[in-house]
Amino acid sequence: MRAHRVRRGLAVAATALATAATATGATAGAAPQDPPATTDVRLITFNDLHGNLEPPTGSSGQIELDDGRTVDAGGAAYLATHLQRLRDEVPNSLVFSTGDSVGASPVNSALFHDEPTVDFLNSQDVRGHVVGNHEFDEGYQELQRLQTGGCHPQDGCEFRDSFAGADFPYLGANVTFEDGGAPALLPFTVQVSGGVPIGVIGATLQDLPDVVSPGAVRGLRFGDEVEAIDRTSDALERFGVKAQVVLLHQGDEADGGGPNSCQVTPGGPASRIAEQVSPQVDAVFSAHSHQQYTCTATDPAGDPRPLVQGASYGRLLSVLDLRVDRDTREVVRESSTARNEVVTRDVEPDAETAALVEEARAKAAPIANRAVGTATGDLLKTPAPSGESGLGSVIADAQLAATRDTGAQLALTNPGGVRADLPHASSPAGEGDGVITYGEAFAVQPFGNTMQTMTLTGAQLRDVLEQQWSPEGENVLQVSAGLHYEYSRSAPIGSKVSGLTLDGAPVDPAAPYRVAVNNFLAGGGDGFSGFTEGTDVAGGPVDLDALLGYLAEHPDVVPPAPDRITAKD
């Protein structure tokens, strides 16, 4: 295992800057030589790993190539092999993460509070890691524990006898404490490679509080990404750090295309940020949207710089090859290139990483491989044209069944909370076709959200459904059986929904209805502020327990037809 380099605290940043200030000095006593005018440095990132140590399955384990074909991809042991190959090609190589390495993880990482995943990142000599929204799933204090180490305060050390924490700094230039505005995380790290300093700025999405439970980020403020990046870039510039890149946990949506295409939706947040931040920034690695693209953004000075994202789950590595002028320490952009490389499974898996993955699998197996239900076909999270998915419908049905005792008449759930497919084919554990295991169900509902049932009027229910559309895009909630409606894509925002019925009867705008949602939605998550107007709120089970109970009560689940929501032009 590579020697761990501990870089924690503000003293680390000061030391790195001091090193950067003298990085090009001559070695005492050395014979004078003419060094090359430039040096090559390779930066490698991955994003949205989400604890996928084992190769992800189904569509989550495939990558679409430029020619439209798909290839199996991902798995920590294969990722490690590809990383080593890329390092061997360019000795001056540095590895970073663009966020969401943990959280919403499969059971073999999540059961141990993602400590196996942090151990994996340490073994790959990750040098810096911007925080994503899922780094806050268990709150700021848990994030600090992942940084500094120590056993979990409730569960103790369940993976190994001790936990040393991350050998890399968690970054967040726009994350401060509400009380006084002091930095809550380091804004940057400086790494010297090839004799030149490389400044790496981390910034997460300003809207992070909208996509996590409110309690997870209580006491923290998430500022404007561009302002924070520019402020940090200026500080690096003052210290003579001219080569600068950004790890940005924010991303654009893409309309298909291979790993190195740029079919992103115009005006996306990552593109906007990449076009607006200081010209001193030479490249932007993005994340969060789980898309694949290699784009070029034009900075405020009119010069091009790369904007790249590497899908998710360890299926792609984003590679930036920089050429840096030794005298000026500036990046020679016209001689620098960016690309995504597929983490294929046709290479020899790294033995050390494979041993770590097997250790986590074996320790989780008694729980993960327990059969909890059966299905007659694939239950997939991939949406139909209307936005509803077969698996989303099953989850909504399960949540309705689990909250009937609180008077629930319908259930709604967010598609972002449906994290994985339930394929009909047997997993490598050998449970058999159609058998659903606890580990598979956990991968689908990993957040531990609790159910809440509230009263909304019919008018308020319709208003919530209208909030599925905003200037930022579409986010169609999954609905339980019995609820039906139509929507028009061409209608104005706020006036898209029509024909809303429950159990065959039109929804009365003035009548009360009991609606079950998870606590994330109940708190206004994903922009659904209408749920915060609910009254007579009653608690319910954890969402995973609702799904497990439903599977136990309904053997041989049939994938539902997508007929609850109708989309019109």
HEC-encoded secondary structure of 105-125: CCHHHHCCCCHHHHHHHHHCC
pLDDT at residue 491, as a whole number: 97
pLDDT tens column, 420-460: 999 999 988 899 999 999 999 999 999 888 899 999 999 99
Q: Measured between alpha carbons, how far is 129 from 112 in angstroms, rounded to an integer?
A: 20
Of 447, 442, 397, nearest in space to 422 by CA:
442
Task: Decide: helix, strand or coil at residue 208.
Answer: helix
Cα gap 476→489, rounded to integer Å: 12
Assign 3-state DSSP to the chain and report helix, strand, coil percentages, each to 5: 30, 30, 45
Per-residue model confidence as pLDDT tens digits over 62-109: 999 989 999 999 999 999 999 999 999 999 999 999 999 999 899 999
DSSP E strands in 417-564: the ranges are: 435-437, 450-457, 469-470, 473-474, 478-479, 483-488, 497-502, 505-506, 512-518, 535-542
Residue-wise pLDDT tens digits, 248-271:
999 998 988 999 999 999 999 999
| Tokens 């239950």 found at | 379
DSSP strand pairing (316-325 vs 38-46): antiparallel
Handedness of CA 377, 383, 389, 391 (dihedral sign): positive
**Is-contact 290 312, C-beta < 8 A?**
yes
Assign 34 a pLDDT band (cuts: 50, 70, 90).
low
Residue ranges of the alpha helices (H) in 333-408?
351-368, 390-402
Which stretches of 234-300 are assigned E, i.e. beta strand? 243-249, 283-285, 292-298
What whole-number distance in Å separates Cα of residue 245 and Cα of residue 471? 29
At residue 28, does pLDDT exceed 50?
no
Tell me if 331 sits within 8 A of 322, measured CB to CB. Answer: yes
Mean pLDDT for the stretch of residues 224-241: 98
Residues 6+ apart with CB under 8 A from 169: 7, 8, 12, 128, 129, 147, 186, 189
Query: Which domains, ranges and CATH numbers included, belong to the chain?
Result: 37-351 (3.60.21.10), 370-568 (3.90.780.10)
Mean pLDDT score, 537-546: 93
Task: Say how many Å lie between the first and final Cα of the chain, rounded.
Answer: 56
Q: What percent of the chain has pLDDT over 90?
A: 87
Percent of the chain with pLDDT over 70: 94
Cβ-contact 173, 224 below 8 angstroms: no
Lowest model confidence (mean pLDDT) among 5-9, 161-165, 490-494? 5-9
pLDDT at 12: 46
Tokens describing residue 539: 């608690």
Q: What is the pLDDT of residue 121?
A: 98
The length of the chain is 569
Burial class (CB within 10 angstroms; exposed 0-12, middle 13-18, buried 19+) of 68: exposed
Q: What is the pLDDT of residue 4?
A: 38
List of residues 6+ apart from 364 with CB closer than 8 A: 107, 108, 111, 112, 439
Does the structure show a pLDDT above 60 at 129? yes
Average pLDDT, the chain: 93
As given in the structure block, the two tokens for residue 439 are: 């580990």
pLDDT over 80 at 508, yes or no: yes
pLDDT at 15: 45
What is the pLDDT, as a whole number, of residue 255?
87
CA atoms within 13 A on the CB side of 165: 20
Listed residue (273, 279, 256) closest to 307, CA to CA: 273
Is the distance from CB of 132 to CB of 320 less than 8 angstroms? no
Looking at per-residue confidence, does 19 or 415 come out higher?
415
Give the side-chain half-sphere CA count within 13 A for 284.
Answer: 36
pTM of the model: 0.85
What does the pLDDT read at residue 10?
46
CA distance 168 to 127: 5
Whole-number Å distance between alpha carbons of 515 and 476: 16
pLDDT above 90 for 214: no
The more confident residue out of 22 and 156 is 156
Strand-pair category, 170-171 with 188-193: unpaired
**How do residues 348-373 score in pLDDT, each as one tens digit?**
999 999 999 999 999 999 999 999 99
Q: What does the block give as tokens for 564? A: 């609850």
437 in Cβ contact with 431 (< 8 Å) = yes
SS3 state of residue 334:
helix
Alpha-carbon distance 103 to 155, whole Å?
17
Mean pLDDT in residue range 5-33: 47
Higher-confidence position of 390 and 429: 390
Task: With H, G, I as helix, E, B as strand and everything else as coil, classify residue 271.
Answer: helix
